[in-house]
Amino acid sequence: VTTALLGLDWGSTCLRAYRYGDSGQILEARAFPYGVRRLPPGGFAQAFAESIRDWPEVPVLACGMVGSRNGWLEVPYLPTPAGIEGIARALTVMTAPAGRLLYLVPGLRDPKRPDVMRGEETQIVGVLAQHQESLWRGTLLLPGTHSKWASIDDGMVTGFATMMTGELYELLTCHSSLAAPTTTATVGDESAFTAGVRAARDSGPAGALSRLFSARVRMLDGDLAPTSVADYLSGLLIGDEFRTAFVSGWIDNTAQMQIVGDAALCSRYQQAASIFGLSTVPTPEATAAMGLWHIATEAGLLATART
Amino acid sequence: VTTALLGLDWGSTCLRAYRYGDSGQILEARAFPYGVRRLPPGGFAQAFAESIRDWPEVPVLACGMVGSRNGWLEVPYLPTPAGIEGIARALTVMTAPAGRLLYLVPGLRDPKRPDVMRGEETQIVGVLAQHQESLWRGTLLLPGTHSKWASIDDGMVTGFATMMTGELYELLTCHSSLAAPTTTATVGDESAFTAGVRAARDSGPAGALSRLFSARVRMLDGDLAPTSVADYLSGLLIGDEFRTAFVSGWIDNTAQMQIVGDAALCSRYQQAASIFGLSTVPTPEATAAMGLWHIATEAGLLATART
């Protein structure tokens, strides 16, 4: 089978490399702990060389924090509204060691808030490519360290917002006075999680930030086991994303919504969504890898690969 | 001059000891880094002995985290509404090493939210004792790691709420992806601070939690120097306290308000208050020390001291 493209999903903590056949099938996948914040001694060049070692000399397309200010080469953001055509036209090419051409996907910038993303635009392209109808209109939620709420209309990202939910959860459960001294892991107390989601939903305009200390009070009161504090905080923070999304107009009860990402995390968000009366559609997997393929196809990189 | 009382303001990170003359004047003050979370090898007993060494054998009254679950002896909370009379009646006495009697001030619990405080109730008693009119009605704000907003009516704490502002500020500026890599200290960029307060004020029901990532976006956009991110976050978090206080009904533009605590921090909060159209009255100093004296007087501990 001919190798048509190499793709790199290169984020803050992880580098994933893909080798594609000429109909977009993934022939080989590799993962390295070489995020842009934890590179090997030889830096970007070494990480790059290791990730594509022994693979054919076809173009390489990369997305994510590799194109950020602290990445290998800072690539300008593309303003929203933006779709696959605009992204494919805005690739930046650089010459990597050994003369390899490396194409970088631009991040997106929503000038209205303002807000920025890098990497999620490629996941979004991957999700939208799987939709049966190209005119899908709705909200894509990509939960994580920095959750993204993206509004989609006719294949374009019309705007988006970032919530630092995953990072706040880690700070509060690992470093704060709310952290249980005996455990940092989530035990999986579903009722504590849903209690947190409901507390956020019912917090009104004050919001869940004003309720964080309630995790400690509930624990002192004996209403919450010390090992369940993390689950309660998870519910409080995820619930506040939905509360914020409603009051900010990112979502309403008539909109279509899809949650994209890690299966366990998506499952928590789907639980929270149902508490807010939202139904969500199933999530495809490996969306970044699919997005890289579709962007490369749109940009005509594959033709180059076959010469 | 006769020593009438010894007082201990014993919190999470610090132990302050006071020796009072018989009209309540402070004859001597000492400070130790022996908070209940960082005791010397000999534990509470050693910290206690060092703090009052060579002082006369009069009763000792202590407030703060020393009476918490992780303190020396857990003292039940007193429910609000509560004032100096109720607090003075609810002291717990324990026998410390060498047969010394140690009286502990109860914390307060607001059953309506629910919420709890330990130590701030003594500061509040100290502030209210300085008021010319005993029927003062208004809001006392005690900023800090866990800021307290207390509603006061006729010398009683009628209710209160905790915001984890100081702790969130430390987590975000020391441990998060928003922290500037080159500096953790606040540079003192007033315009960044006030911009943060205004952003929180104008964040509507979504609140400042949804705007935290804007600190990074503004920095990437060049609107905020990396060294000013901490000031911007400080403004965002303090501003969100005031936003929350308004939407939660803890404060309105007709209420009297007093900010109590560390002078530099109070100054920041006063700036924020003025951006929200609130005027605040000047802050007395050493309120915990004064509160201990007034509680001991109300409880009749001084008479014991003179026998």
Residue B133 contacts A where some CB pair is shorter than 8 Å: no
Tell me the pLDDT tens digit for each residue of B95-115: 999 899 999 999 999 999 999
| Alpha-carbon gap, residue A222 to A229, rounded angstroms | 11
Spatial separation of the C-alpha atoms in residues A251 and A150, rounded to whole Å:
10
Q: How far is CA A238 from CA A168, B130, B213, B270, B305, in A?
A: 10, 44, 16, 32, 55
All residues at 6 or more sequence positions from A286 whose CB lies less than 8 Å from its CB, including other chains = A26, A126
Q: Round to whole Å and give the CA distance between A240 and B270.
A: 29
Give me the mean pLDDT over the A278-292 stretch.
87
Mutate to test the interface with A, among B13, B69, B70, B164 (most CBs of A within 10 A): B164
Residue A188 — pLDDT band, cuts 50, 70, 90?
confident
CB A290 within 8 A of CB A131: no
The whole-angstrom separation of Cα A69 and Cα A148 is: 20
CB A166 within 8 A of CB A234: no
Quick one: pLDDT band at residue A143, thresholds 50, 70, 90?
very high
Q: Which two tokens stand for residue A297?
A: 């196809």
CB pairs under 8 A between A and B: 97
Cross-chain residue pair A213–B171, CB shorter than 8 Å: no
Tell me if B304 sits within 8 A of B61, measured CB to CB: no
Using a CB–CB cutoff of 8 Å, tell me whether B70 touches chain A.
Answer: no
Across chain B, where does the E strand assignment appear? 3-10, 15-21, 26-32, 60-63, 78-79, 82-83, 92-95, 101-104, 108-110, 115-117, 137-142, 147-153, 156-163, 256-259
pTM: 0.92
Give me the pLDDT at residue A176, please.
92
Contact A266, A6 (CB under 8 A): no
Distances (CA, A) of A74 to A11, A31, B195: 14, 23, 27
8 A C-beta contact, residue B106 and residue B76: yes
- Identify whether the C-beta of residue B33 lies closer than 8 Å to the C-beta of residue B14: yes
Strand order in the sheet with A156-163: A82-83, A156-163, A147-153, A137-142, A256-259
Cβ within 8 Å, pair A172-B176: no
Closest CA to B209 of A116, A294, A147: A147
Contact (Cβ atoms closer than 8 angstroms) between residue B63 and residue B8: yes
Q: What does each of the 307 residues of chain B score in pLDDT, given as a tens digit?
A: 899 999 999 999 999 999 999 999 999 999 999 999 999 999 999 999 999 999 999 999 999 999 999 999 999 999 999 999 999 999 999 999 989 999 999 999 999 999 999 999 999 999 999 887 767 889 999 999 999 999 999 999 999 999 999 999 999 999 999 986 555 455 589 999 999 999 999 999 999 988 999 999 999 999 999 999 999 999 999 999 999 999 999 998 888 899 999 888 999 999 999 999 998 887 777 899 999 999 999 999 995 544 4
Q: Which residues of A touch B173 (CB under 8 A)?
A: none
Question: Looking at the complex, does the CB of residue B240 fall below 8 Å from at least one CB of chain A?
Answer: yes
Q: State yes or no: ipTM above 0.95.
A: no
User: What's the rounded Cα separation, in Å, for the pair A246 and A205?
Assistant: 11
Please give the single-letter amino acid code of residue B146: H
Q: Alpha-carbon distance B4 to B179, whole Å? A: 49
Helix (H) or strand (E) holding A306: helix A301-306
Write out the H or E segment, with its range, that includes residue B167. Answer: helix B165-175
